[in-house]
Each structure stands twice: as structure tokens, then as C-alpha cells.
Amino acid sequence: MSNITVAIKGSVRYFSFRPYILQPLRLDVSNSIRFIALKVPLGAIACQCYRSGTYFLLSGACSANTLTTKKYLPMIRALQLLLMTTVSFATAQEQPLAASHDADRSHYLARFANVAPSIDGSSNDVAWESAQWRPLNNIWLGGPLEPTDFNGRYKVTWTEQKLYVLVEFTDDVLVDFHRDPLTQYWDDDCLEIFIDEDHSGGDHQYNHNAFAYHMSLDNRAIDIGSNKMAQEYTHHTRSQWRQQGDKVVWEISVDIYNDEYRDSADDNQPVALQVGKVMGFMLAYCDNDHSELREHFIGSEHAAGDHKDRGWIDAGLFGTLELAD
């Protein structure tokens, strides 16, 4: 890694370091170098345009040329020396992006859409041309899958108002046995979109630290509310899918809400999106061919341990989604 990453936000500078280096250095750095001061949480406005990491705010605003002036060079060199002398210890203590996230999470760089895709179950929109495909291939529940039974991939793009997801998959049988949208919705074929607006990780089972939208075949969005009951959040999304043979193309737009969202309120406002915003993100697909219960659960992230389907509770399983221009 480079010893120091300098991030620019207006006339203020931020320094970022890998978290496993900051853990042992936080006090030393803050005490030794005066212009390193306040820890800024990842996802805060000050850090919107930077990559994953832990940020420290300079103690005062700086001119555009501050970091090249002789006045600050000794401080920067001292910080570099601190980092260099601690690398061996830090490497031994290496941790994931944050204590609340699993190791080996994916990182998706989503490109801005100058023209928003039309939500019509088609992949022909110009906005999708520059978006990268990622596989949907981690089996969380069920045995090995034949490509004809399920084979999936996805793309993500965004505008200032919404996040857009395109999913293509092969599924030879689609079922919707449970007509009540709030009952056993996870046991029918459905797409799940997991979003953690501030990339904080952690528990979201009965709160809105993160959302886990279960997108049904009738284009409804279901998640568990703060009352510990399934609720409909279709007003957060727009969804449309089309099937040709065994191939399904599914498009969804999603309004992004933060953890201040209240189920009982009628004045919740979605978050405006901008370049550099970092969120937790994951996709999954519940596949059922002939059973009362789902037969497979396939996700976009690797899940270790016995409880691979814990994403509906734990946002630490999510990958990282970074919004780019």
C-alpha cells in the first residue's frame, strides 16, 4: 500500500490508512502529529469521495498547496516513518475493512448513469453498457447446481436519486406458491437486495441499519420492520422482469434510506447519492422448483461457517459498493 492516501474535499484534506494499520497507530498518530485529529466514520459526508478505509480529519482547513509546503513536510515524513516502523506488527494484526464486516468482501465500482435505465426488464439501456458484470454464484443453502437449474450475474449503476440493479439468470422453473406476500415469501423464487446505506455493518434484523428487500415475482418488496413483522416496502422500489425461455432479465430501481428511517413516519426521505459514496451491498436469489420450502439460496458474497444465510440479520456479510463517475 502507499503509506498515505490524501483525499481532497473542497479546501480541507483528509488522510486515510488501512484499518489494520490504524488500529495500533491511532493514538500514536493523533498524539505525535498535531494536524491528525478527529476520526471520521466511513460514509460520513467528509469521506464521500474516497475508498474504503478509516479517515482522519486535518485539525484545520488548508489551502490547496498546504501539503506541498515545507511547513508540513516534516509532519508527513514523520507519519510515513511511523507507518513504516509499524508495518510488521500491523501485518500480523491484519483485519478486514472494519470489525463489523467479514473478511474478503467484494468491492464493486458502480458507474454513474447519465440517463437512468428504463425499468422494463430489458438490458438494452445505454446505462448498462459501461457497468461491469459480477457473478451470483455462492451457494448458501442447498447442494450443487447445474447451470440449467440456476446461473446468475448482475450489474449496478446509479443516479443522484436512485440505485439501479440489473440481474440476468437462468432458472428452468419459477414458482410463486405463497400468494400472501407477507407469508413465507423467502420460499418462493425471489430476488433479495441488501443495502447498508452507511456501510456500518452489524445487526439489522429488527431495525433499519440496513434493508433486505425480498423482491417477489409480482414485483413487491418485503422486509422485516422494526415491529418484528414482515412489511411491504414496494414504494422504495420499482421492479420489472421478463422471461425468454429459461433466461430471466430483472431490473430494479431502489431509493436509498439511512438508518433513521421510521416505519411509522410518512416523511422519510431517501438519501441523495453522489460520487464517492460507499455502501454495503449484496444480492441473493431464492430458488425453488417443486418444494414447499426453498431448495437453494445463492448469494453474491462468500459466506463462511454454518449459517451462510445470515445476511438478513448481519450486514457485515455485505460487500462494498462504491459510487463512481
pLDDT at 125: 96
Cell numbers given for 88? 510488521
Q: Mark which of 92, 124, 149 sits at the end of a domain.
A: 92
On whether both 117 and 259 belong to a single domain, the answer is yes
**Does 87 fall in a domain?**
yes
On whether both 59 and 123 belong to a single domain, the answer is no
On whether both 309 and 216 belong to a single domain, the answer is yes
Domains: count for the chain: 2
**Does 187 fall in a domain?**
yes
On whether both 171 and 250 belong to a single domain, the answer is yes
**Does 30 fall in a domain?**
yes
CA distance 180 to 221: 13
**Does 101 fall in a domain?**
no
pLDDT band at 104 (very low <50, low <70, confident <90, very high): confident
On whether both 148 and 61 belong to a single domain, the answer is no
**Does 100 fall in a domain?**
no
What's the alpha-carbon Rg for the chain, to the nearest Å?
Answer: 22
CA distances from 100 to 97, 118, 260, 283 (A): 8, 36, 19, 19
pLDDT band at 155 (very low <50, low <70, confident <90, very high): very high
Half-sphere exposure of 155 (CA within 13 A, CB side): 23
Burial-class residue 148 by CB neighbours within 10 Å (0-12, 13-18, 19+): exposed
On whether both 211 and 299 belong to a single domain, the answer is yes
**Does 97 fall in a domain?**
no
On whether both 206 and 116 belong to a single domain, the answer is yes
How confident is the model over 3-19, as pLDDT tens digits? 333 333 333 333 443 33
How confident is the model over 173-216, as pLDDT tens digits? 887 777 777 778 778 889 999 999 999 999 999 999 999 999 99
**Does 99 fall in a domain?**
no
pTM exceeds cut of 0.75 = no
On whether both 221 and 301 belong to a single domain, the answer is yes
Residue with cell 514523520: 78
Q: 182 Cβ partners below 8 Å, 6+ apart?
A: 222, 229, 230, 231, 232
What would you measure as the largest C-alpha separation in the chain, in angstroms? 71
CATH number at residue 253: 2.60.40.1190
Q: How many helices (H) and strands (E) does the chain have?
A: 2, 18
Long-range contacts of 71-76 (CB under 8 A, 24+ apart): 72/35, 75/33, 75/34, 75/35, 76/4
Contact 39, 55 (CB under 8 A): yes
Q: Mark which of 92, 123, 144 sits at the end of a domain.
A: 92
Cell numbers given for 46? 467528509
On whether both 112 and 75 belong to a single domain, the answer is no
On whether both 88 and 174 belong to a single domain, the answer is no
Q: How is residue 222 annotated by DSSP?
A: E
| Residue-number span of the structural domain to which 14 is assigned | 5-92
Q: 23 Cβ partners below 8 Å, 6+ apart?
A: 90, 93, 95
Residue with cell 452507511: 198
Give the whole-number percent of the chain exceeding pLDDT 90. Answer: 53
Interval 29-58 mean pLDDT: 35
On whether both 82 and 219 belong to a single domain, the answer is no
Q: Mark which of 92, 122, 148 sits at the end of a domain.
A: 92
pLDDT at 169: 94
On whether both 82 and 116 belong to a single domain, the answer is no
pLDDT at 266: 93
CA distance 217 to 266: 27
Give the whole-number percent of the chain exceeding pLDDT 70. Answer: 69
**Does 264 fall in a domain?**
yes
CA distances from 225 to 94, 111, 206, 231 (A): 36, 31, 6, 6
More confident residue, 180 or 123: 123
